[in-house]
């Protein structure tokens, strides 16, 4: 095949570019020579999938078996450390937490999160500290989560009615659990349902694909022009404009509410955030409209898929393990029957049920690689020198299966939590489904309340069978990549009403 002159020019430019990139990598690699080596250059996590044919947390786990639990990778130009043991996770998230409390500035967060002014991607510092305070004291504290109890119970009651109306036939439970979870979050965040809320949800869905896809600009940050010309930018900008338009309408509607309307309704999350808009007394500064939009975005992306995925995995594991199904259903039915109502108050009395949820999150943490952290200054961990600006990826999935801490780590055994003090609050580093340290998930109470009420209600009201005569042992537990790691296949189950009046609505 003959190459024409322009093609040769393109090829030469390409090789020059590759040479420049490798040259930089060589220089950088020397600075972290004390770290145990890993594969030298790997594309970003989204692309590892294609490279290894397995999901990033599994690929990293396999690499760690060969290279150790504190592994150095060069991800494009970015020095990256992958942590796969509880001991090293503790070093990062407790002993050196303040140094590792930063996040890398990804193109996604710069564009969609208004230059990283949300909570999850805000750089560690005063602004983040104040947002965290609003989050823990006002937005996601126990009292606020409790104030949304009616919303949760109404939405879960709709879910039960839907399953009851389909009794005897196969239903796509995954899809319905997902829409129930998002309905709860939509109502908690924005108030009563409206048409534009659905549009907001569909934009969030499209953006979650962008979060896991590979972006060259993030791999080669010193080539600033890449963030301008990369193919992701126009897509992200377009999504941002759409989200901005819808959230402005929603915020404006909240601002225009009369005092009477405000007193009649339950305060939603936008109402709470607006209290800090043009009012600097509490924070020392006031939240701008863009800050509010960034935080709203976090609530949906961080809170929706995580809780829906956890509920779905729990149902799948319970169905796959008939012994667990019988034991947990006996407990749920005993408690709700004794109390005479199916509502949240009974859940705190369910010991085994809580163990089932914990075991689900051990085997299937919704965010298996915790949100990336960035080291703000040079530091040393167990004799390894880590330069400033190194990214740190913590593999919560691998840690939850570490055979030194968990017997039969691959098996679903809720009993392991029965007489154990191990909890998900960030003090047991062998179990970190919500992360740990300063950046631990602030939505634990809200997230779990959404998971638990749905799961307990589904287990109470129905007996469940797999569709198409599938045997429980044949249920495929393959994972798929998304903003949270979910089951590849949707869960199709046949509900059978448990008692003569399956739809006893929550009071």
For residues 149 and 158, give the distance between their C-alpha atoms in angstroms, rounded to a whole number.
14
| Binding of residue 298 to ligand HEM (CB under 6 A) | yes
- Looking at residue 340, the DSSP 8-state letter turns out to be T
For residues 405 and 455, give the distance between their C-alpha atoms in angstroms, rounded to a whole number.
28
For residues 121 and 82, give the distance between their C-alpha atoms in angstroms, rounded to a whole number.
19
| Binding of residue 311 to ligand HEM (CB under 6 A) | no
Which span (11-19, 233-241, 363-371, 375-383) binds ligand HEM, by CB under 6 A?
A: 363-371
| Binding of residue 414 to ligand HEM (CB under 6 A) | no
Q: CA-CA-CA-CA torsion for 158, 159, 164, 168, nearest 10 degrees?
A: 150
User: What's the min distance (Å) between Cβ of 434 and ligand HEM?
Assistant: 5
User: What's the min distance (Å) between Cβ of 366 and ligand HEM?
Assistant: 4
User: What's the min distance (Å) between Cβ of 229 and ligand HEM?
Assistant: 30
Of 145 and 459, the one with the shorter C-beta distance to ligand HEM is: 145
User: What's the min distance (Å) between Cβ of 41 and ligand HEM?
Assistant: 25
Of 189 and 494, the one with the shorter C-beta distance to ligand HEM is: 189
| Binding of residue 140 to ligand HEM (CB under 6 A) | yes
Q: Which residue has the tokens 């590792």?
A: 100
State which of positions 426-455 bind ligand HEM (CB under 6 A): 433-436, 439-443, 446-447, 451
User: What's the min distance (Å) between Cβ of 305 and ligand HEM?
Assistant: 9
For residues 28 and 24, give the distance between their C-alpha atoms in angstroms, rounded to a whole number.
6
**Angle in degrees, CA 58, 64, 66, rounded to 5:** 115
Backbone angles phi, psi at 252, to 5 degrees: -60, -45
Of 434 and 464, the one with the shorter C-beta distance to ligand HEM is: 434
Partners of 170 in the β-ladder: none
Structural contact between residues 367 and 306, judged by C-beta atoms closer than 8 angstroms: yes
Of 203 and 230, the one with the shorter C-beta distance to ligand HEM is: 203
State which of positions 365-384 bind ligand HEM (CB under 6 A): 366-367, 370-371
User: What's the min distance (Å) between Cβ of 126 and ligand HEM?
Assistant: 14
DSSP helix/strand/coil, 71: strand
Q: Is the dihedral of CA 256, 258, 261, 266 positive or negative?
A: positive
Q: Which residue has the tokens 């934009």?
A: 203
Using CB under 6 A, which of 236, 299, 399, 481 touches ligand HEM?
299
Is residue 441 annotated as involved in ligand binding?
yes
Whole-angstrom CA distances from 23 to 12, 167, 225 are 16, 64, 18
Whole-angstrom CA distances from 248 to 138, 295, 313 are 22, 13, 35
Of 103 and 220, the one with the shorter C-beta distance to ligand HEM is: 103
Instruction: For strands 391-394 and 78-83, give the pairing.
Output: parallel
Of 111 and 451, the one with the shorter C-beta distance to ligand HEM is: 451
How many residues bind ligand HEM (CB under 6 A)? The answer is: 27
Of 31 and 146, the one with the shorter C-beta distance to ligand HEM is: 146
Using CB under 6 A, which of 69, 191, 303, 346 touches ligand HEM?
303
Structural contact between residues 121 and 109, judged by C-beta atoms closer than 8 angstroms: yes
Interaction site with ligand HEM (CB under 6 A): 119-120, 132, 140, 298-299, 302-303, 306-307, 310, 366-367, 370-371, 433-436, 439-443, 446-447, 451
Annotated binding site for heme: 441
Annotated binding site: 441
């Amino acid at each position: 095949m003959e190459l024409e002159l322009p093609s040769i020019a393109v090829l030469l430019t390409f090789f020059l570019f590759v040479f420049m990139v490798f040259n930089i990598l060589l220089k950088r690699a020397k600075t972290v020579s004390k770290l145990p080596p890993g594969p030298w250059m790997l594309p970003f996590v989204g692309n590892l999938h294609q490279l290894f044919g397995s999901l990033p947390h599994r690929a990293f786990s396999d690499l760690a078996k060969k290279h150790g639990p504190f592994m150095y990778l060069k991800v494009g130009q970015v020095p990256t450390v992958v942590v796969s043991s509880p001991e090293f996770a503790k070093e990062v998230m407790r002993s050196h937490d303040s140094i590792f409390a930063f996040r890398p500035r990804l193109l996604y967060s710069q564009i969609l999160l208004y230059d990283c002014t949300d909570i999850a991607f805000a750089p560690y510092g005063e602004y983040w500290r104040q947002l965290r305070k609003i989050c823990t004291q006002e937005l996601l504290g126990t009292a606020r989560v409790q104030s949304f109890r009616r919303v949760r119970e109404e939405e879960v009651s709709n879910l039960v009615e839907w399953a009851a109306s389909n009794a005897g036939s196969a239903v796509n439970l995954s899809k319905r659990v997902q829409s129930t979870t998002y309905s709860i979050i939509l109502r908690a965040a924005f108030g009563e349902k409206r048409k534009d809320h659905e549009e907001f949800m569909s934009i969030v869905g499209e953006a979650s694909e962008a979060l896991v896809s590979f972006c060259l600009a993030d791999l080669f940050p010193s080539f600033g022009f890449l963030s301008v010309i990369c193919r992701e930018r126009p897509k992200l900008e377009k999504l941002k404009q759409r989200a901005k338009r819808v959230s402005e309408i929603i915020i404006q509607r909240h601002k225009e509410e009369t005092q009477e309307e405000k007193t009649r309704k339950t305060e939603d999350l936008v109402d709470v955030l607006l209290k800090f808009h043009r009012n600097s007394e509490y924070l020392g500064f006031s939240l701008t409209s863009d800050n509010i939009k960034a935080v709203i975005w976090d609530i949906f992306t961080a809170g929706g898929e995580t809780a829906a995925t956890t509920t779905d995995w729990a149902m799948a594991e319970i169905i796959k393990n008939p012994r667990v199904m019988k034991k947990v259903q006996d407990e749920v039915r005993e408690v709700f029957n004794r109390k005479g109502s199916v509502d949240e108050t009974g859940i705190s009395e369910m010991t085994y049920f809580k163990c089932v949820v914990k075991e689900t999150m051990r085997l299937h943490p919704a965010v298996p690689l915790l949100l990336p952290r960035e080291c703000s200054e040079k530091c040393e961990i167990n004799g390894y020198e880590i330069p400033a600006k190194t990214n740190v990826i913590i593999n919560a999935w691998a840690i939850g299966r570490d055979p030194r801490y968990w017997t039969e780590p691959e098996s679903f055994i809720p009993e392991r939590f029965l007489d154990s003090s191990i909890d998900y609050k960030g003090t047991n580093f062998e179990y970190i489904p919500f992360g740990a340290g300063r950046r631990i998930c602030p939505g634990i109470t809200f997230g779990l309340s959404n998971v638990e009420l749905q799961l307990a209600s589904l287990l109470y009201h129905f007996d469940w069978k797999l569709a198409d005569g599938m045997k429980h042992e044949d249920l495929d537990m393959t994972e798929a990549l998304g903003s949270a790691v979910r089951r590849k296949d949707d869960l199709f189950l046949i509900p059978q009403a448990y008692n003569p009046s399956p739809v006893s609505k929550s009071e």
